Amino acid sequence: MNRILLLLLAAALPLFAHADEGAFGGRASFFAVSPVAGWDRNELQVRGRDGRTSTETDTAPEYGLFAVFIHPRFVVNNFLFWSKNINDTDIWGNLFFANYYHQPDVPVTWNVGAGYLYHKIKPEMTEIDVKVPMVKGGPLFRMKQWGITLNPYLGYAWEQVDTPHGDQDNDSYLYGISGWWRWRMIMVAAKYYYQDSQEIDENFNTFRARLNFGITKNVGGVIRFDYMEHQTTTDTSVLAGPTFMF
């Protein structure tokens, strides 16, 4: 899986080759909201009454609401998502993240951020809650002539999984990289991080990418891809929808 995610990141790099200066849609700051819909492929680990664990796989419609505020020094985004009757399970969650970027006009600076993921999984006759607060920080490299920004970072996450059979805590180191490219009314953003578990034997990958494009200064569209691994579930989703910018 690591090789696939790295190949996806490498495949995105040619998109950066023809960028020029300028913010998204000519704006240095903007707010955007996107109702999205698509499909989610869910792999759920289910523990039976005999204590054995099996994996159930299913694909079902997924819906979400994505909002982002972008400023030269701050980026705040929130993604609410839900899917019903996938593996006979209702799934919903919310991912919030806020970033601060120091010195917006210099080629090399630094970034800090904090986020919180909540994931509720409701199989038949049980319920699983995943809670992951996280922090991160690292250098920021701006290649303004191409419209590219890269942000390798280190972080820490406190993952807690609550089930009727007991709770599982898993503190983890995060090793990741974010990058984005802005040109006229197009923005491509991607993020990958590796979750190095400290309390269990399993480690996890997360990869997210999105393409935002404008049709007018206030209306556009978004396509996003999300891949998330956790202790009890793995989700792969592709969502698309309109974007309204202010």
Query: pLDDT per residue over 170-185, tens digit each?
Result: 899 999 999 999 888 8
Contact 65, 34 (CB under 8 A): yes
Contact 210, 186 (CB under 8 A): no
- Model pLDDT for residues 34-93, shown as the tens digit of each residue: 999 999 988 877 665 665 667 778 888 999 999 999 888 889 999 999 988 777 778 889
Look up residue 185 and give its amino acid: M
Confidence band of 161 (pLDDT split at 50, 70, 90) = confident
Confidence band of 2 (pLDDT split at 50, 70, 90) = very low
Q: Which residue has the higher pLDDT, 127 or 67?
A: 67
Residue 47: per-residue pLDDT: 63
Rounded-to-integer distance, Cα 181 and Cα 15, Å = 8
Query: Does residue 16 carry a pLDDT above 80?
Result: no
Query: Does residue 165 carry a pLDDT above 80?
Result: no
% the chain with pLDDT above 90: 48
CATH number at residue 182: 2.40.160.40
Query: Does residue 12 carry a pLDDT above 70?
Result: no
For 75, residues 6+ apart whose C-beta sits below 8 A from its C-beta are 68, 69, 98, 99, 101
**Mean pLDDT score, 100-125:** 88
Report how many domains make up the chain. 1
Q: How many CB atoms lie within 10 A of CB 84?
A: 13
Range of the domain at 217: 2-245
The upper half-sphere exposure of residue 121, i.e. CA atoms within 13 Å in the direction of its Cβ, equals 23
In degrees and rounded to multiples of 5, residue 199 shows phi and psi of -120, -5
Rounded-to-integer distance, Cα 216 and Cα 22, Å = 16
Q: Which residue(s) pair with 214 in the sheet?
A: 220
Confidence band of 202 (pLDDT split at 50, 70, 90) = confident
Confidence band of 15 (pLDDT split at 50, 70, 90) = very low
Mean predicted lDDT score pLDDT of the chain: 83
